[in-house]
């Protein structure tokens, strides 16, 4: 329920990012995916992809093999190294039907591939299957960082194995930090990810909840884990 819970404010609509440099294919994918009720983001190249992901973490990525400034396998390797993007399911789109190339794609960390011309019916089926798989997989996850543990199934927090009561918003906030440790998030990114895209909440709300979270962690000497990064935002770090 990791990503599912985070996106519950988006009315459970999943975000699919299409990284594809050919406009007609991008348009076709957008049309088809929007019809299936996905929120579609797109990027023509590696740079746009990075921007899009830092603004909003997609639930799934469709990645073209050949891009003007990079290659699909190269980008996937990069995404797999970053804790923020490591677990995003990726389907590689490829014109190559060469088996060696397919293997190379999967080796780089893609979860699946589909060759062009893309059959939309088959693509939709694969997207659904992959999203189901990733959700099922993360359902009873236990997140741990330093001496903090979050049990996502029971929605409980433990510090040094002692259970600590925590309010819903603080839990969501801490969970988000624990999913992506050591990564800095701005207040507006935290609002989007924890409170949802369509919030009209003041950014200072984030500070209030950070304060509450630190207060909660303090008796167990874990408040230092929530770090203020001057001029940028907050991160979880030891």
Tokens of 68: 């003007």
By CB under 5 A, is residue 101 in contact with Ca ion? no
Query: Per CB under 5 A, which region of 5-13, 18-26, 199-207, 216-224 contacts Ca ion?
Result: 18-26
CB of 112 to Ca ion, least distance (A): 18
Reduced to 3 states (helix: H, G, I; strand: E, B; else coil), residue 234 is strand
By CB under 5 A, is residue 66 in contact with Ca ion? yes
Residues 20-39 that bind Ca ion (CB under 5 A): 21
By CB under 5 A, is residue 112 in contact with Ca ion? no
Instruction: Check: CB of residue 69 under 8 Å from CB of residue 75.
Output: no
Residue nearest to Ca ion (CB): 66
By CB under 5 A, is residue 59 in contact with Ca ion? no
User: Which of 64, 192 has the CB closer to Ca ion?
Assistant: 64
Residue 238 CA neighbour count, 13 Å, CB half: 6
Q: Are strands 66-67 and 156-159 parallel, antiparallel or unpaired?
A: unpaired
Q: Are strands 148-151 and 156-159 parallel, antiparallel or unpaired?
A: antiparallel
By CB under 5 A, is residue 64 in contact with Ca ion? yes
Phi and psi of 136, rounded to 5°?
A: -60, -40
CB of 76 to Ca ion, least distance (A): 14
User: Which of 66, 164 has the CB closer to Ca ion?
Assistant: 66
Query: Per CB under 5 A, which region of 7-15, 17-25, 50-58, 179-187 contacts Ca ion?
Result: 17-25
Strands (E), the chain: 15-19, 39-43, 60-64, 66-67, 70-71, 90-94, 112-115, 142-145, 148-151, 156-159, 162-164, 226-229, 233-236
User: Which of 65, 145 has the CB closer to Ca ion?
Assistant: 65
Interface residues toward Ca ion, by CB under 5 A:
21, 64, 66
């Amino acid at each position: 329920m990791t990503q599912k819970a985070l996106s519950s404010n988006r009315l459970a609509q999943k975000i699919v990012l299409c990284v594809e440099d050919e406009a007609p294919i991008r348009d076709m994918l957008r049309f088809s995916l929007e019809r299936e009720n996905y929120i579609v983001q797109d990027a023509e190249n590696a740079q746009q992809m990075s921007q899009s992901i830092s603004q909003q973490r997609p639930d799934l990525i469709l990645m073209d093999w050949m891009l003007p400034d990079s290659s699909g396998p190269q980008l996937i390797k990069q995404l797999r190294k970053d804790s923020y993007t490591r677990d995003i399911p990726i389907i590689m789109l490829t014109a190559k039907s060469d088996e060696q190339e397919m293997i190379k794609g999967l080796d780089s960390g893609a979860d699946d591939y589909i060759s062009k011309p893309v059959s939309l019916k088959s693509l939709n089926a694969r997207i659904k299957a992959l999203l189901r798989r990733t959700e099922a997989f993360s359902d009873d996850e236990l997140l741990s960082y330093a001496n903090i543990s979050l049990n996502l199934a029971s929605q409980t927090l433990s510090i040094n194995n002692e259970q600590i009561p925590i309010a819903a918003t603080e839990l969501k906030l801490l969970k988000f930090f624990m999913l992506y440790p050591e990564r800095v998030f701005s207040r507006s990114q935290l609002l989007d990810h924890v409170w949802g895209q369509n919030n009209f909440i003041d950014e200072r709300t984030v500070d209030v909840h950070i304060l509450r979270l630190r207060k909660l962690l303090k008796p167990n000497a874990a408040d230092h884990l929530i770090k203020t990064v001057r001029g940028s935002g907050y991160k979880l770090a030891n």
